[in-house]
Structure 1
Amino acid sequence: MSTASTRRPVYSHSVEGFGTVTITPVDPAADSALIHGWVTEDRARFWGMLEAGRELVQEIYEDVDRRTTHHAFLAHRDGEPVALLQTYDCAEDRICECYEVRPGDVGVHLLVGPAKGAAERGFTAGLMTAFLAFLFSDPACRRVVAEPDARNEKAVALLERTGFVLGPEIELPEIDLPEVYLPAKRARLAFLNAPV
């Protein structure tokens, strides 16, 4: 399923043997059906939106879209949507209550879309290559910080394979505001410094 977004890509990266990954800001209205389909699959249970309706998904990404500290992107490989990438300023997120934030820390969330057909060896590695190139293309990004659900062994293993250094488990606090609700979450910190 392709999206009807009229937003322009902000980054494109060719990965040898994988294809070209293009990163485009999420258009909440145009992309909510696609994202809803992804986040409500059982394999996305750690994303925390299994019971969300399409309208709620659109509202959540409209809220993200209004912020200057949090961003959501769709990644396409050779024109096909394959992943949802979210970034945030760690100093402006609930994670700042759980570790000592450094200047240049950029937080990330990644949801890989459902596979079409058989699983493809090296698929997530190809995506991670493009995502990290995108993140570190910003000279202000000195370190990428991930905080997957501590029970998500696949995500933690992917981060380790990609070169992240695992940190401690933390308890992200609940956020209950009129515009956003996030339950408390047991997470595993992981860090990757910018290449020198």
Structure 2
Amino acid sequence: MPSADASTDARTDITTAPTAEDSEDSEDTLELRLPAEFVARYTQTGETGESADDLLDRIGDWGPSRTPAGSFHLVPVQVERDLPLIGRWINDPTVATFWELAGTECVTEAHLRSQLDGDGRSVPCLGLLEGTPMSYWEVYRADLDPLARHYPARPHDTGVHLLLGGVADRGRGLGSILLRAVADLVLDNRPSCARVVAEPDLRNTPSVSAFLSAGFRFAAEVDLPVKRAALMVRDRGLRDVL
């Protein structure tokens, strides 16, 4: 799973990021199976072809938010439109260190489609700042993810992974601004969600600091299959004081 803020240090991409190992180890990939009746509830479609319900409350309808850096908008990925850009970001040497998904566009496409063709528990998105794509996000149901095996998950816990795409957007605190914005978007648009969580590598001090600056608190150390992580939590009840 990804960690936190490349924006605070060129060596630390905001990477609470899935890795190549994740796709090989069911402990750290989106391999949990939902009960058939639960899946059926979320796969019924109407005449529009859209889901009757949504595990993440229709991210595409959330709309933009104002941040100190400008208007920010999460837009669900469209592979045909976004693959070249995301592939280029994934293959940046700094990013590749943490996401471990470097390779041809086929590698990137497989990673995206594993979410887009899944049951909706993880949604890959582009982050647009003032209309310009500049970051890649994964918003996911942490309570339905293998991460839930490693901490006391609560229903509707929502996780975030972030990759800042351009070198110019790193190292100037932008990651913290956007993490706060996305956490607020989750809490504003997912009324059943009481907490936003993340699991940066515990050794990635700038990453953990970025989450703290974004209003997350350090909750625990957790041993994941590929790293020892800092469990970071943004609580709905504390959002106005942190």
Is the counterpart of residue 76 in structure 1 residue 128 in structure 2?
Answer: yes
Matched, 1:140 2:192: yes
The change in CA–CA distance for 1:56 and 1:172 in structure 2 (over 3 A counts) is same
Give the equivalent residue in structure 1 for 2:178: 127
Q: Distance in 2 between matches of 1:152 and 1:78?
A: 29
Compute the TM-score of the two structures, normalised by the length of structure 2. 0.66
Residue-by-residue CA offset, 1:143-188 (whole Å, 9 max, x unaligned): 0110112232221110111221113332223xxxxxxxxxx33322
Distance in 2 between residues matched to 1:101 and 1:65, nearest whole Å: 24
Aligned residues: 176
User: 1:163: which partner in 2?
Assistant: 215
Instruction: State the 1:194 CA deviation.
Output: 1.2
Q: Which one has the bigger helix percentage? A: 2
- Work out the CA distance in 1 between the residues paired with 2:126 and 2:105: 17
The CA distance in 2 between the partners of 1:195 and 1:100, in whole Å, is 18
In structure 2, the CA distance between the partners of 1:42 and 1:152, relative to structure 1 (3 Å rule), is: farther
Deviation readout 1:47-81 (Å, 9 max, x if unpaired): 222x3321110111011112211111111111111
Q: Tell me, yes or no, if structure 1 residue 36 matches structure 2 residue 78.
A: no
2:167 counterpart of 1:115: yes
Q: Among residues 163, 169, 187, which one is paired with 2:229 in the alignment?
A: 187
The share of aligned pairs that are identical, in percent, is: 28
Q: Does 1:93 align with 2:145?
A: yes
Q: Write 1 or 2 for the structure with the bigger share of strand.
A: 1
| Aligned match of 2:106 | 55
- Change in Cα spacing, 1:172 to 1:154, as seen in structure 2 (3 Å) is same
The whole-number CA distance in structure 2 between the counterparts of 1:58 and 1:140 is 31
- Partner Cα distance (1:52, 1:28) in 2: 16
Letter in 2 for 1:92: L
The superposition leaves residues 127-146 of structure 1 with CA deviations (integer Å, 9 ceiling, x where unpaired) of 22321221112212210110
Q: Is the 8 A contact 1:75 1:81 kept in 2?
A: yes
RMSD: 2.1
CA–CA separation in structure 2 for the residues paired with 1:101 and 1:119: 31
- Show the counterpart of 1:24: 75
Q: Secondary structure at the match of 1:96?
A: helix
Query: Which consecutive unaligned segments of at least 5 residues does structure 1 have?
Result: 1-7, 174-183
Segments of structure 2 that go 5 or more residues without pairing to the other structure are 1-59
After TM superposition, give the deviation of residue 119 of structure 1 in Å: 5.8
Do the aligned partners of 2:76 and 2:124 also contact (CA within 8 Å) in 1?
A: yes
* DSSP-derived class of the 2:203 partner: coil
Q: What CA distance in whole angstroms lies between the structure 2 residues aligned with 1:63 and 1:43?
A: 24
**Higher RCO (C-alpha 8 Å, min separation 6):** 2
User: Partner of 2:110: helix, strand, or coil?
Assistant: helix
In 2, the alpha carbon distance for the partners of 1:9 and 1:113 equals: 23
Whether 1:13 and 2:55 are equivalent positions in the alignment is: no
Letter in 2 for 1:136: L
SS class of match (1:11): coil
Question: Under a length normalisation based on structure 1, what TM-score does the superposition of the two structures give?
Answer: 0.80
